[in-house]
Structure 1
């Protein structure tokens, strides 16, 4: 939590520095969300689908800052996950629901016309928000994504934690195994 607060303060200072506001043609958009993962229930906004890998009670915090002159920077901090393990995470197009599939595909700035998207020209960390991380011995992890675009009419609606780090090879680009947990985020 302190890490996100420190990032927020630093990012805000950079974005609001003299001259930054003049360079911006649109307002700064901040999205922040935190949640404690639980089994799915109607209205839940932090859901674990695999409590063996994302235990009930584990937490996630997302902070995202967008401005036309700076792009979008997103941070993910997790606690209470399995120690010493690699996870993937991405911004997804739909909110969380009863199954991980309900969150839809990864949000892509330039949408791939072919679904599912596994073409590295579209499924990459410049066109999507990738937040892969590894947990430390206490089960905490941190990830940061910076892209040069901002959200317009279409916005991501959740962050999904996946089973593995994200693949980048053709035919598998953007895949990261099973969907383990989901946090609704109002990007």
Structure 2
């Protein structure tokens, strides 16, 4: 499988530039500032952006740690499947400057409880064997969307991955979660470890 980070090629229905997001955020806490939704079929993108709010005030963009993911910081996500691959991107602004953040696509939508977003989305799902140790056969950046990024001096950052499988509308990620660790672990016995969940943005249902 191939994996591409920080690819510069534009994808379909790209999210708006972050300079425009600040204006959109004035519409209200957790509002759907910049959403382009379509069926998750080949060539159609699902995208969404939002400003982080506390769980009591948020609807789809949550901060669970205001020190690491400040209220008002913005996240934008986009997923574009093709006939043989899927490109997923994450863009942030207003986070801590010059810092790494681990991030992944998750199976469920965000909620007031950080665990609401479920586990990592996997193309090949790990069997339910009761093991407590993550299996790197399944927990790896070729089977999951790992979107780790580094912010610049202004707290802005972006990551993008392209993986060799296509998601469908009924079997696709529903959110992206940002974690406290600065990088996702790939070490055997610790694969996928990335610290506490500090922020979450839901990917909306298709229309």
Same fold (TM over 0.5): yes
Alignment of 1:2-81 (within 5 A): 7-8=10-11, 27-41=42-56, 44-69=59-84, 71-81=85-95
1:174 paired with 2:192, answer yes
Count of matched residue pairs? 170
Q: Is the 8 A contact 1:94 1:104 kept in 2?
A: yes
Q: Specify which of 140, 151, 169 is matched with residue 156 of structure 2.
A: 140
Q: CA deviation at 1:146?
A: 0.9
Q: What is the root-mean-square deviation of aligned Cα atoms in Å? A: 2.5
Equivalent residue runs for 1:84-163 within 5 Å: 84-113=98-127, 114=129, 118-152=134-168, 153-163=170-180
Q: Which runs of 5+ in 2 are unaligned?
A: 1-5, 15-40
Judging changes above 3 Å, is the alpha-carbon distance between structure 1 residues 117 and 107 closer, same or farther for their aligned structure 2 residues? farther
Higher helix share: 1
Distance across 2 between alignment mates of 1:186 and 1:68: 22
The aligned residue for residue 19 of structure 1 is none
2: CA distance between counterparts of 1:80 and 1:168?
27
Q: 2:116 is paired with a residue of what secondary structure?
A: helix
- Partner SS state of residue 102, structure 1: helix
Structure 1 spans left out of the alignment, 5+ residues: 12-25
Give the distance between the partners of 2:61 and 2:142, measured in 1 at CA. 26
- Tell me how far apart the structure 1 counterparts of residues 190 and 180 of structure 2 sit (CA, whole Å): 14
**Normalised by the size of structure 2, how large is the TM-score?**
0.75
- Out of 79-88 and 146-155, give the one that drifted further: 146-155
Secondary structure of the corresponding residue to residue 29 of structure 1: coil
CA separation of 1:145 and 1:30: change in aligned 2, threshold 3 A:
same
